[in-house]
A = this chain, B = another copy of it.
Amino acid sequence: MKLKTIAFDADDTLWMNETIYTTTHGRFVAILEKYEEPDVLQKRLYETEIKNLNLFGYGVKGFTLSMIETAVELTKGQITGDEVHQIVALGKDMLTHPVELLPHVEQTLKLLQESYNLMIITKGDLFDQETKIARSGLADYFGGVEILSEKNTATYQRLLQRNNIEVSDFLMVGNSLKSDILPIGELGASAVHIPFHTTWGHEMVSPENMLHVQYEVLQHIGELPDRLPYIFPSRQMEGMMADL
């Protein structure tokens, strides 16, 4: 047990993402509220998203198609071409939205890269995620970037094998209990949960599912360097306990 690789989720762990979806939901409702109640629009959009996940996967392009599908259905085809155009524009705005780093991210990565191999492990749309990593300005801190279509025990296991990473030397850091913590716990690796204030319904996990999984919870990523001696006590004793 010797911590070598720390992997970070990207959306809502390194930079804001869910807030862009929340804002877009609001703008979607504003376009269509003349046709239908906001609650109905939101509920139906979520249902359409989930129904389309097995066709579209995660990401903005599939979400935009789901917005269009929801809009046509809920307006019973009364939606105008101009309104469809506005929804396409919502999707394009999401794709070009500035990448806003969360607090403490850059200084934490800078510190940790001196001692560890850092990775990004994210899920979603390949092109969109690559673009965001490039625009974030963080790419040089990471020795590897892995973009998965789904994060589960099997995909993490293949990823660790492919990169010759031992489960016992690996720490995953992320905001999603479902995607970043639960499958890592099932593999027997270490995980740190840093909750983001907003979580997409699809990423929710009921508390009883988390009972058998051990993980550390931090308020923000800046707490990570000081907490590492407690998460990986055996190896950290030498170097980092000196600071305490």
A56 at the interface (CB under 8 A from B): yes
CA distance A62 to B62 in the complex (A): 9
Q: How far is the CA of A203 from the CA of B130 in the complex (A)?
A: 22
A61 close to chain B: CB less than 8 A: yes
**Residue among B65, B68, B81, B126 making CB contact with A126, cutoff 8 Å:** B126
Task: Enumerate A67-90 residues with CB–CB distance to B below 8 Å.
Answer: 68-69, 71-73, 75-82, 84-85, 88
Assess whether A81 is in contact with B85, with CB atoms less than 8 Å apart.
no
Chain B residues with Cβ below 8 Å from A84 are 68, 72, 79, 81, 84
Q: Mark A147-163, 1 if CB is under 8 A from B, else 0.
A: 10100000000000000
Decide: A61 and B58 in contact? CB cutoff 8 A: no
Interfacial residues, chain A to chain B (CB-CB below 8 A): 55-59, 61-62, 64-65, 68-69, 71-73, 75-82, 84-85, 88, 91-92, 95-96, 125-128, 130, 147, 149
A80 to B80: give the CA distance in the assembly, Å: 7
Please, which residue of chain B has its CB at the minimum distance from the CB of A81?
B77
Q: Which 6 A-B pairs have the closest CB atoms?
A: A57-B127, A77-B81, A126-B126, A61-B61, A72-B81, A127-B149
